[in-house]
Structure 1
């Protein structure tokens, strides 16, 4: 797969999930708390833009760039995505004026929110295994059979289970 196709795939999956748990991996004394975020946009350069609550401390006291993890998950969706990258606090008025951001983002910057952009460095995409639906009869049959012979005793391998004794 080439890079634009990969970015399109990742962007579509993240856009489908929309929310993630944000974790700062900074070693600094002042770090942003883990929180649930909602993606505002993903630009063509692979930056994920979102808000976090503005901390009580002065924003200028925080590192402007730090490593983060974003864990995207949504109940009922058969996949999840973990993103690792470098977050950057966007507070410079000139950068905000030059950035291609819409009204929602610019209005949020003026409120009690802090705008972050994360450059994706490593993305892990996982698909969940489909749940096998078993009938109540097969569950009952398995439960009754395990009463007489526990599941771990069905097979005996003398190389790995030397100390086990069967009744």
Structure 2
């Protein structure tokens, strides 16, 4: 797969799921808590734009850029993604207004309750979920014994790295 096709694949899967669990991986004392976030957009530069609950502390007290992990999962989908990258809180009104994805009510929400965060994707792990098909008791028994003797660490996700 070419890099552009890989990016389009990851972009499509993120937009299909729409929500993620946001993990701040910083060692800083003051950091954004783990929370569920809404994905607004994945742009062509590899940024995932998110809305995060506004913390009680002043935004100036937080790190300018910090490492994050986003776990994208949606019930009913047969896949999930884990995206690692670097996040920045977007506070510049010109940058917010320059984005064509905001309506007036969303801009008001960003000011009052939410914070706009952009995450530069550096790595994305795509995992396909195992389906649970009904098998006969004999088939299940054979599977149990065969997995006992196989190395269970052979499964690897599809990993995509961002290119700069």
Aligned to 2:40: 40
- The structure with the larger Rg is 1
Within 2, Cα distance between the matches of 1:92 and 1:14?
25
Normalised TM-score (structure 2): 0.79
Give the aligned CA root-mean-square deviation in angstroms.
2.4
Q: Deviations over 1:42-100 (max 9, x none)?
A: 11111111111111111101012100000011112110000000001001223223344
1:1-167 residue pairs with structure 2 within 5 A? Answer: 1-103=1-103, 105-134=106-135, 138-139=136-137
Pairs aligned (count)? 144
CA contact (8 A) 1:40 1:105 kept: no
Partners of 2:93 and 2:102 lie apart in 1 by 15
Q: Which runs of 4+ in 1 moved over 4 A?
A: none
Contiguous gaps of at least 5 residues in structure 1: 146-150, 156-167
Structure 2: tracts of 5 or more residues without a match: 149-164
TM-score scaled by length of structure 1: 0.77
